[in-house]
Amino acid sequence: MLAYVFWHAPRPATAARDYEAAHREFHQALGLEPVAGLIGVRVFRLAVIPWLDPPRAGYEDWHLLSGSAALDVLNTSAVRSPRLVPHDRIAAMAACGTAGLYALRSGAPITPTHAYWMSKPAGTSYLDFDRSMQPFIDAGACLWGRRMTLGPTPEFCLHSAAAIVLPYASKGVPLELMFGRDGS
């Protein structure tokens, strides 16, 4: 499973309620007709997105995909009728955006309340890193790993349904679920 993750923030003069209404309208349009390979969507409100320049409040959209071919379908479907007008409306209200592509590395996808972004410590093998994450996976978390070097974020994201303390330095980001859906 892959996830196309998109971080975005509204223009300073845009009211949050207007931005969120346009955002929800786009995702409703996305859900009207099935998009092949789109398994589910999670949209979170974040108090701060550390990798935006400058860091600011915004939104994090997780589009869960069956595989890499679904990324092409999503990319094309997002800007075709009946989604084009809602897409263009929210895009015009956005000040900035960036994205990344992540693969589910361990565990099962969850609707998290916390995301922990980290890099594998220098000198640590991937096997040892994965082993160190296993207790968190066993407790219900899931680990995502960046594909190639796409996106501005660290290499790994651990999703958790509760606050945890990790053995490595990480950027903990509390998540506020705005909406989500499965089985798209």
Mean pLDDT of the chain: 93
Q: CB-based contacts of 13: which residues, under 8 Å, 6+ apart? A: none
- pLDDT, tens digit (0-9, with 9 covering 90-100), for 86-109: 999 999 999 999 999 999 999 999
Q: Which residue has the higher pLDDT, 150 or 78?
A: 78
pTM for this structure? 0.94
pLDDT at 141 over 90: yes
Which amino acid is located at 49 in the chain? I
- Enter the tokens of residue 52: 């935006």
81 token code pair: 């009728």
Helices 84-93 and 16-32 meet at what angle, rounded to 10? 160
Strand order in the sheet with 56-65: 171-174, 114-118, 156-160, 142-146, 94-106, 2-10, 56-65, 38-49, 176-182
Report the phi/psi class of residue 91: left, alpha or beta, with left for phi > 0 and alpha for psi in -120 to 50: alpha
**pLDDT recorded at residue 183:** 57
Query: What would the pLDDT profile of 33-47 be if each residue is shown by its tens digit?
Result: 889 999 999 999 999
What are the backbone angles phi and psi of residue 157, rounded to the nearest 5°? -135, 125
The domains located in the chain, with CATH, are: 2-182 (3.30.70.100)
Say whether 56 sits in a helix, a strand or coil: strand
Q: What does the pLDDT read at residue 184? A: 42
For 72-130, give the DSSP string. Answer: HHHHHHTTSTTSHHHHHHHHHHEEEEEEEEEEEEES-----SEEEEE-PPTT--HHHHH
Residue type, 21: A
